[in-house]
Amino acid sequence: VIERTEQLAGQLPGAGVDALLVTALPNVRYLTGYSGSNGLVLITPRGRDFVTDFRYVEQAAVEVDPGFTRHRAAQNLLQMVPELLAGAARLGFEAEHMSVSTHQRLGELCGAGVQLVPTTGLVEGLRAIKSPEEVQRLRAATLLADEALERLLAEGLIGRSEREVAIALESHMRAIGAERPSFETIVAAGAHGALPHAQPLDVMIEPGQLVVIDWGAQLDGYCSDCTRTVATGELEPEALEVYTLVLAAQIDGLEAVRPGATGLDVDAVPRARIADGGYGDHFGHGLGHGVGIEIHEPPRLSMSSEDTLVAGNVVTVEPGIYLAGRFGVRIEDLVVVTEDGCDILTTVPKELRTVG
C-alpha cells in the first residue's frame, strides 16, 4: 500500500505544501493499514513516518506498511511532529478533520518557522477510486451482509420488535465473520418506515406492513451498504404501487451509473421517474454516496453533487418514497463503476418479498 503514499506525496507541491500531516484515522488506515485508534502519518521530503503511542506499538508492527518509519510517542502524538519535520516550512493539515484546539497546539509545537496550510480531500480523492483488491473486499463484505439478511428473513418478522430484528441481523453478521455492522442497522415497519433514518423501536412488526431494512457489514476494514423493503402480508394497493415505482426508479439509477456521468446527472434520472409517478415531494434525500473504509465518502450522487464518476468509484443507488404517517419504501444496491457502466455488488433479490 505504500504506493498510495507515493501518489499522495506527488500531489503535495500542487497543494502548496512540502509536508503533510494526516490525522483522520480512516485516511491513516488507507495509507498504512493501521486499524488502531491513535496514530498519525507525516509525509515530508525526508521520509514517510507513522506515529502511535505505546498501547499500539505491537499492533503497528504487524499492520503498518514497512515503507513507513514507525515511531512511539507520548499519548499526544503531535509532540513528535516538529523533529520529524526536519526543516519543512509549509506543513499541510487536514482542515476537515482537525479541531481548532488541535490546530492551536500544533502551531505552538511547530513554532513560527512552520506555516500550517489547510488542505481538503487529498487522501479522500485517492480513496474514491478503488483498486481491484479494495473492490474484492467490498464484494466480500456485501456477500456477508446478504447472507445475514437471508438468515434473518428465514426466521420471520411478524411478532418481533424492530429492535429485536435489528439486533438479530447484527448478530447474524458477526456470527458469520463481520468485524461489526458498518452503521446502526435500520429496521422500520409501517408508518415508521417513512422516516429515512429511523431508529429501531420496541414496537411489534405486524402483518400487512412494509418493513424497511437498511444494514451493512464491515469486513477487512471495508463497509457494505444495502436496503431492502419487504412485506409482511397483503398490502394496500398504494403501497404496492409505490414499491413498483421505487424499484423502477432504482433500476433507472443503476443504468445511469457510468464513467463521465456527474453525480447530478445520475441523481436526476430516478428523481424524474418518481416525480412523473406523482411522488416528487416524497423523495427528500440524495440518490447515493460513495462507500469504502467509511460508510459515507466521496463521490456523492445528489442534487448538490459536484462529482463526476470514474471507473473504480463504489457508490450506492438508493431512491426512496416516504409517506408520512403511512409507510416508506427504499431500495439500495452497492455498485462499482466500470469502464462502460457498473457492476452490482449486492446479490439480494429486489422483487417484493413477503415474509411472515
The residues of the shown chain that bind Zn ion, judged by CB under 5 A, are 214, 225, 227, 316, 332
Smallest gap from Cβ 319 to Zn ion, in A, equals 11
**Cα(7)–Cα(282) distance, integer angstroms:** 43
How many residues are there in the chain? 356
Nearer to Zn ion, 209 or 316 (CB): 316
Nearer to Zn ion, 32 or 316 (CB): 316
Smallest gap from Cβ 316 to Zn ion, in A, equals 4
- CA-angle at 6, arms to 37 and 73, nearest 5°: 35
What would the 3-class secondary structure string for 17-74 be?
CCEEEECCHHHHHHHHCCCCCCCEEEECCCCEEEEEEHHHHHHHHHHCCCCCEEEEEC
Smallest gap from Cβ 142 to Zn ion, in A, equals 12
**Cα(32)–Cα(39) distance, integer angstroms:** 10
Nearer to Zn ion, 1 or 251 (CB): 251
Smallest gap from Cβ 182 to Zn ion, in A, equals 9
Which residue, chain included where needed, has cell 507525516? 42
Nearer to Zn ion, 48 or 289 (CB): 289
DSSP 8-state assignment for residue 232: S
Q: CB of 80 within 8 A of CB of 54?
A: no
Q: At a CB cut-off of 8 Å and minimum separation 6, what does 336 contact?
A: 130, 135, 138, 312, 313, 314, 342, 343, 345
Q: Which of 50, 8, 47, 53 is nearest to 32 (CA)?
A: 50
Residue 14: what are its φ and ψ, rounded to 5°?
-60, -30
- CA-angle at 141, arms to 161 and 265, nearest 5°: 90
Nearer to Zn ion, 114 or 226 (CB): 226
Nearer to Zn ion, 9 or 254 (CB): 254
Nearer to Zn ion, 170 or 225 (CB): 225
Smallest gap from Cβ 215 to Zn ion, in A, equals 7
Smallest gap from Cβ 283 to Zn ion, in A, equals 14
